[in-house]
Structure 1
Amino acid sequence: MLLLGHTGITYAVVRTAEKLISHSGRKISGLIDYRLVFIGAILPDILDKPLGHIFLKDTLGNGRIFAHTLLFSLLLFLIGLFYWVKAKRPGILVLAIGSFLHLVFDSMWALPKTLFWPAYGWSFPQMKSDDYLWQVLLRLVTDPYSYVPELIGGFFLLTLLRELSHKKQLKQFLKTGKLLFNNDTLS
């Protein structure tokens, strides 16, 4: 999954969870900074792709390393939980949720040596990354497992953008990351 898939589908999952929790009687609307949802959704790639494909290209050539581990998401979650309990600041917790969903959408269970690092040893699988970008682009136009999530994520992002524009809240959203819609449709 790439940028649109990760960000759009993560947004839809978090927004749906927010609405379900709100409907159960707990007031959480307005607590989530969706800018952090978007960053969390791609945080493992932001950290691992440059590290694995540029800096460690000769030794690893793998863009799924440290931040694609359950340990990374768990540490981020525990730090976020600490800040939530101590200061009622959910920001890092939101990043952790986005980061964890990234692992789910990347099907990291298929790479247990990475997902459960360091349980299977301290090294990560090595991959050939000479033509990494070309392989990604080729899959994006030929493989439904690549382009379908991008189309779905793009749809959710366009729906959000349309809703923000229609309600004249785009500027406010960019400033605060908050969604302050009064209706219950998936926005």
Structure 2
Amino acid sequence: MPQPKRASESHTIMTEMVLPNDTNTLNNLMGGRLLHFMDIVAAIAAQKHSNRIVVTASVDNVSFAEPIKLGNIVTMKAQVTRAFNSSMEVFIEVWAEDIPAGIRVSTNSAYYTFVAVDQSGRPIEVPPVIAETDDEKARYESALRRRQLRLVLAGRMKPQEATELRALLVGE
């Protein structure tokens, strides 16, 4: 088993400016473009943690709370929350900033899951995560519930097998 790594070692910040080619007809950042940015920053965090090539396995619900306007600066922060065998959950936070107006707003957050793979594309074991701060510990503790919910929704786990969700899913 690989040596455990601190969650903070995967911390990644990415910044982009919203340009005309990134926007829809309302001059807002297209949702698909934002998802693209989020996938990149999350993949970098997963690579930092695993020191491996990673592939996106799933994306949790992404709600678009605030529009991101043409000319805004988009800042995304990503960090691995927990690792399971070959997969890693990554939490991403997104802010939009209108620098001339001095306005910065939180626009999105999401969890992405990545799988580390070897040169042949086969899953490979990743280091466990060491959570240190209160936020890291809270996300680490709740990661197993999110993982089991993802697996149940994907049909890869029976609700009865979801030990962390049993009471919610099967009424125990």
Question: Do they superpose with TM above 0.5?
Answer: no
Higher relative contact order (CA 8 A, sep 6+): 1
TM-score relative to the length of structure 2: 0.24
Higher strand share: 2
Higher helix share: 1
